[in-house]
Amino acid sequence: MSKTLSDTDLTTALADLTGWAQDGRAIHRSFKFADFPAAWGFMTRVALMAEKADHHPDWSNSYNRVEVALTSHDAGGVTERDIALAKKINAALES
């Protein structure tokens, strides 16, 4: 289990992560796509990378919108694993 980030480290990490903000013990980003297939395609890519990393988002989908929250359940807050997945998710937007 990795350790939760300090407030300072989290602020520094978020400054580098387009679209993500702290939401309690998680980080959150809203995504909006052209339509449902685009949103679902994005979720499929993220699901595969999450499974590979054994680190999974808390998320929801409504038509062309996807809400994603990342937290490390085992650690009880935001860890480097969440920051790493957020970076990959942002990169998946471009693929």
Ligand X SMILES: C[C@H](O)[C@H](O)[C@H]1CNC2=NC(N)=NC(=O)C2=N1
Footprint of ligand X on this chain (CB under 6 A)?
54-56, 71-74
- Measured from the CB atom, the residue of 22 and 64 that comes closer to ligand X is 22
**From the CB of 59, what's the least distance to ligand X, in Å?**
11
Give the CA radius of gyration of the chain.
13
Rounded to whole angstroms, what are the CA distances from 95 to 65, 71, 84, 85?
Answer: 18, 24, 17, 15
Task: Report the distance separating Cα 18 and Cα 5, nearest Å.
Answer: 18
Helix (H, G, I), strand (E, B) or coil at 2: coil
**From the CB of 75, what's the least distance to ligand X, in Å?**
7
